[in-house]
A and B are shown apart, each in its own frame.
Chain A
Amino acid sequence: MVGELTWRKRILGLWLPLVAFVVVALFPFTWMAATSLKTNAELYDPKAMPLAIKHPSLVHYIDLLTETNFLIWVANTMLVAVIATGISLLLGSMLAYPLARMRFRGGALLAIAVAVTYLIPQTLLFVPMSDLIGRMRLGNTLTAVMLTYPTLLVPFIAWLLMGYFKTVPKELEEQAMIDGASRWRAMTRIILPLCAPGFLSAGIFAFTLSQNEFLYALLFLSKSSVRTVPIGVVGELIRGDAFYWGQLMAGALLGSIPVALIYSFFVKYYVAGLTAGAVKG
C-alpha cells in the first residue's frame, strides 16, 4: 500500500516533470541532428516522419566543410574567445582586487560605476564603437572584437571575482605582511591562488559569452575570412531568401559542440559562477 503510494508520488512529482523538462530542453538539438543527417530529398518530403532518418547521409557536413569557410570561422571564434577572456580576466581582477579588499577614497563610487555599466544598452554604444574601430583602422580584423568584447566582460568578471576575493580572510594577508611579504607578494602568492575556482568560473563564463556575442561581430567583421561562427552561419548559410536547412543545422550543431564540450568538463565551475552572486548576495 505505502509502496504503491510513494511510487505514484514519485512518478507524478519527479519522473513525469523531469522527462518533460529534458525533452523540452533537448528536442531542438535532436531536430538539428535529424535535419543535418538527411538528404534534401528526404528532408523536404512531406510524407516522411520528421524526426526519423531513413537514409542517413553526411552530404550537408561535407558541403559545409568544403564549400564554406566554416572551419576558419570556428578557429576565429576560438582565438577571439581565448584572447578576449584572457584580457578580461586580467583587467577584471585588477579592478576587483582593490575594490574587494582595500579601503581607499573613491572605492565605493567606482564599485557603483562598474555595476551601472550593466545598464548601458549595447545598441547605444555600437555606432560610436564602429567610429572608434574605423579610426583605429581595425575594421575587418579580429583585433576589433578582441578589444571590444572585454568592455562587455570586464564589469561582469570584476563583479564575480569581487565575491571570491571577499571570502579570503584579511588576517591571512596581514599575517603574510607581518612576516615580511610585500602587499604584491601577499596578493600573488596567497590570495589569488586561493581564488582559483573563481578565476575558472569567470573564465568559462567569459568564454561562453565571447562565443555568443553577435552585435559587434556583425558590425566589425564583414569579410568572410575574419567572421566568427554566429555571424558566418547567419550571414553566409542563409543566402538571400533561400535557406539551406541541412547545411544550416549541420553548422548550428557543429558550432555548438566546442562550447558544449568545454562546458561539460567544467560544468561544476560554470554552475558555481552562475549561482555565486545569486546565493551569496
Chain B
Amino acid sequence: MAPAHRPYRLGRLGALMERESVFSWLMLTPPVLFLLAFLGYPFFYGVYLSFYRREVASVASFVGLGNFVTLSNDPIFWQAVRNTIIFTGVATVLKASGGLAMALVMNQNFRMKAVTRAMLLLPFIVPTVLSTVAWQWILDPGMGLFNRLLVVSGLANPGPSWLGTPTMAMISIIMVNTWRGLPFFGISILAGLQTIPVDLHESATIDGAGTWGRFRYVTLPSLLPVIFIVTVFSIVITFFDFQLVYVLTGGGPANSTHLMATYAYSLSMGAGQLGLGSAVALSMVPVLGLLLVGLTLYVRKD
C-alpha cells in the first residue's frame, strides 16, 4: 500500500507528480507521441494506401477492395503466400529441433564451454546481409564451396544449381535461414534446461526412468514453455524476413521464391504500384495470425 501522507516540503506540482497516474503519463507521453508519429501514422497510412490505386508520382484513387481482388487473381501472390508459410513452417521446425539438440549437447560438462557457446552464437549476431552474401558464394553453381567440394570428392559433377531451380532455391533459403536462427533456439533452450531442478531427474531415476524416459517425462515438459515462446518469436521474425531472399534470390528464379515481404517490396518499389504493394503487406497480418493461432492450438492439444 502506498503511504497516505506525502512529505510536506514538496510543492503542489511536486505533490501532483507523486500520484502514480500523473507520474506515469508524464513519463509515457514522449515515447507514446514518438511511436504514434513514426509507427502509428505510417501504419494507418499504409492501411489507407491498400484501399487506393496509387502509382508513383500520380494521384491516388479509391478502389475499395479492388487491390485485394486483383491479388486474389494473381498467381504470384498465392505463390508468395504459399512460400511464406512453407519457409516459416519448415525453417521453424528445423530450428526448434536442431536447437533442442544443440542445447542437450551443450548442457553437459566440458572444457571451454563459454568459448564454444560464443562461437555457436556467431551466425545469429553477424549482420544478416553479410552472412547471406557469403552463402550466395558458398552456393555459387560453378565456383562455390559446396559444388567444389562435391566435385573434388567425386560425389557429383557438376553439382546442383542451388539457387537456379524453384525447388532447390526454396531449399537453399530455408537452409540459410536455419543456419542463422538455430543458435537462438539452442542458447534459449539451454538456458531453460539449466533451470530444471536436478532432484526432478534424480527422483525420475529412482522411479526407474531411463535416459529416454527422463527426457520424455521430465526434460521435455519442463522445456515446453521456453520452446513455445522462442518459437512464437522465431515465427514472427522468420515470417517478416526480407533481406535473406532479397539478397540470395531476389525472389527468383521466375518469382518462385518470393515471400510476401519481398513481393510487397517488388510491387511497390519495382513496379511502382504502392497501393497494391501495401495490400500485400497488409495481407501478411491475417496470415501470420493464422500461423500463430495454429501453433497455439497445436500446443493446447498436447
Residues on A lying within 8 angstroms of B by beta carbon are: 13-14, 17-18, 21-22, 24-29, 31-32, 35, 43-44, 46, 49-51, 91-92, 94-95, 97-99, 102-105, 107, 110, 114, 117-129, 131-132, 147-148, 150-151, 154-155, 158, 174, 177-178, 180, 182-184, 208, 211-212, 214-215, 219, 229-231, 233-234, 243, 245, 248-249, 251-252, 255-256, 259-260, 263-264, 267, 270-271, 274-275, 277-279, 281
Interchain Cβ contacts under 8 Å between A and B, 29 examples:
A13-B108, A28-B134, A50-B149, A95-B32, A98-B27, A104-B20, A123-B242, A123-B265, A124-B282, A127-B268, A174-B2, A177-B18, A184-B17, A184-B23, A211-B127, A214-B246, A215-B242, A230-B128, A234-B129, A234-B133, A248-B133, A251-B130, A260-B126, A267-B118, A275-B192, A278-B188, A278-B230, A279-B191, A279-B192
Q: Which of B9, B30, B108, B260 contacts A94 (CB 8 A)?
A: B30
Q: Which of B9, B25, B49, B129 contacts A214 (CB 8 A)?
A: B129
B31 close to chain A: CB less than 8 A: yes
Closest 8 CB pairs of A and B: A98-B24, A124-B281, A275-B191, A128-B42, A128-B45, A230-B129, A104-B21, A256-B126
Main secondary structure of the interface of B (DSSP, over half): helix
Contacts of A25 in B (CB 8 A): 119-120, 122-123, 179, 183
Structural contact, B191 and A271, CB atoms closer than 8 A: yes
Structural contact, B284 and A21, CB atoms closer than 8 A: no
Structural contact, B143 and A121, CB atoms closer than 8 A: no
Contacts of B31 in A (CB 8 A): 91-92, 94-95, 154, 158
Residues on B lying within 8 angstroms of A by beta carbon are: 2-3, 7, 9-10, 14, 17-18, 20-21, 23-25, 27-28, 30-32, 34-35, 38-39, 41-43, 45-47, 49-50, 101-102, 105-106, 108, 110, 114, 116-123, 125-131, 133-138, 140, 143, 145, 148-149, 152, 179, 183-184, 186-188, 191-192, 195, 225-226, 229-230, 233, 236, 240, 242-243, 246-247, 260-261, 264-265, 268-269, 274, 277-278, 280-282, 284-285, 288-289
A-B contact sample (12 more), CB < 8 A, given A183-B18, A255-B127, A279-B192: A18-B110, A95-B32, A105-B21, A117-B39, A123-B264, A128-B42, A151-B34, A177-B18, A180-B7, A248-B137, A267-B118, A279-B191
Structural contact, A50 and B152, CB atoms closer than 8 A: yes
Considering only CB atoms, which chain B residue lies closest to A118 in the complex?
B236
Q: Which of B47, B117, B134, B274 contacts A271 (CB 8 A)?
A: B117
Structural contact, B285 and A121, CB atoms closer than 8 A: yes
Question: In the complex, A128 Cα to B278 Cα: how many Å?
Answer: 10
Considering only CB atoms, which chain A residue lies closest to B123 in the complex?
A25
Considering only CB atoms, which chain A residue lies closest to B44 in the complex?
A128
Contacts of B126 in A (CB 8 A): 256, 259-260
Q: Which of A102, A122, A215, A259 contacts B24 (CB 8 A)?
A: A102
Main secondary structure of the interface of A (DSSP, over half): helix
